[in-house]
Structure 1
Amino acid sequence: MQTAIIFDMDGTLFQTNLILEPALECTFEYLRHKNLWSGAAPIEKYREIMGVPLDVVWKTLCPDHSDKIRKKSNDYFQAALIEEIRQGNGALYENVLPTLQSLSDSYPLYIASNGESAYLQAIMSTYHLDRWIKGCYSIDIIPSKNKAQLVERIMKEQNIVSGFVVGDRASDINAAIDNNLIAIAVNFDFAQQEEIKKAHHIVEQFPQLIDIIKTYRIQIQEV
């Protein structure tokens, strides 16, 4: 049995905003070329719903399209995102790497993300996150697309009995609370105040996690 830290990826570790706009523009240009879209790409709409499962994303962005076209749009979008990452146009948030390195000295680290597996692996390999991350889990493996169930799956597979979920959206906070873990919200690009106010802690800078988590470690040792 172990205590672990489970991180969200988009908007928590990775600055998705840096590659979101060009990848969406590329996708909707493809739809325009196929006479399936007119007007600007719905970038602000996607920013509002960032963090929800991808099937919800495309139902929201393309409400009048068929499931087949939505799937094709998502496939195109995923390929564009991965190409942006490989071209070096993305970035981790400031001080993510040294913070992960520090935390990994005391806790096993995992990722629970609503992103697709290939996209997550592109980030993992580009920034060599497997130096500290022991497992990267995609919502793809959960039929319900429920992040709380994804975290529950990680806990069962990795024999985790306590720990923390670090994320920026309601799905992350709820995943922590539903599994009796400590919810830590990062107040970064996509965070919404109404969603993150339910977290046990809110941080403005990534290294703040170290002091918060260290406090719990001290409490556990004292007990």
Structure 2
Amino acid sequence: MIRHKLHQPEAMIFDLDGTLFQSESILLPAYHATFEQLRREGLYEGETPPEERITSCLGMVIREIWRKVLPESPASVHRRADELLLQHQLSCLKRGEGALYPGVEDTLRKLQQSGIRLFIASNGLENYVKLVSRHKGVADLFENLYTAGEYRTESKVDLVKQLLDNHRVQSAWMVGDRSSDVEAGKKNRLFVVGCDYAGFGKASELDGADVKIRSFPELLEL
């Protein structure tokens, strides 16, 4: 239970998948379509790996995802799978599929109206992150979008540090649903809000967060 309001930060930095966007709503259809195409191209044989293998990787950088999903396949297959997954996800978005979590757009607008600078920091690919924010009608609310795909960072810690330095942010909250978000916030000396509503992470995923929320609009209560 939230017992008192915290000092309003200058900025809030958000993860995308599992925090703002219900990524599984397009990820899983794209995942199955990717493996169907890999089989047609002769790059993969057998059944599609369990969905849990890809959903457990949400929040990781791309190269780590395919090492876990396809540990026996060479890097060339990983690259092709990555290309196909992105293509199918973008197709889903263009068809109007996928959804933000309840209350995300309204909450973001209220945070912006209160004078808080809003950013996204995601380990996802640049085109994917930008297309999600644009197609879901929230792109105009963010001062900038930072992705590992665009900035070639090794970790979210480095990505968030670049964001803070480039925009001269003095105080910020890191808001996300994965351990990588907690680490990025803590190593950059930020207050960390753990989003405990996506349901994909381990029980210990948000250990170290300063506070956990069960729905996105709880940010306004904080």
The two structures have a TM-score, normalised by structure 1, of 0.91
Question: Who is 1:156 aligned against?
Answer: 165
* 1:154/1:202 CA distance change after superposition, 3 Å: same
Contact 1:28 1:37 in 2 (8 A): no
Whether 1:204 and 2:222 are equivalent positions in the alignment is no
Conservation of the 8 A alpha-carbon contact between 2:172 and 2:191: yes
Corresponding residue for 2:73?
A: 65
Deviations 1:47-91 (A, max 9, x none): 122111111111111112121111011001001011111111100
Q: Which runs of 5+ in 1 are unaligned?
A: 213-223
Q: Once the 2 structures are TM-superposed, how far is the Cα of residue 143 of structure 1 from its aligned partner?
A: 3.7
Give, in whole Å, the separation in 1 of the partners of 2:24 and 2:197: 10
Greater Cα shift, 93-102 or 30-39: 30-39
- The secondary structure found in structure 2 opposite 1:22 is helix
24, 34, 41: which is aligned to 2:41?
34
Match of 1:120 in 2: 129
Contact 1:94-1:206 at 8 Å conserved across structures: yes
What's the CA shift string for 1:118-167, capped at 9, x where partnerless? 10111121022122111111012444420011000000011001110000
Q: What's the counterpart of residue 112 of structure 2? A: 104
1:9 and 2:16 matched: yes
Q: Which runs of 4+ in 1 moved over 4 A?
A: none
What RMSD in Å do the two structures reach over aligned CA positions? Answer: 1.3
Deviations 1:96-119 (A, max 9, x none): 001000111221000000110010
Do structure 1's residue 24 and structure 2's residue 34 form an aligned pair?
no
Q: Is the 8 A contact 1:24 1:41 kept in 2?
A: no
Count of aligned positions: 211
- Between the aligned partners of 1:46 and 1:37, the Cα distance in structure 2 is 18
TM-score normalised according to structure 2 size: 0.91
Unaligned runs of 5+ in 2: 1-8
1:83-102 equivalences in 2 (<5 Å): 83-102=91-110
**Which of the two has greater helix per residue?**
1
Report the Cα distance in structure 1 between the residues aligned to 2:144 and 2:212, rounded to whole angstroms. Answer: 24
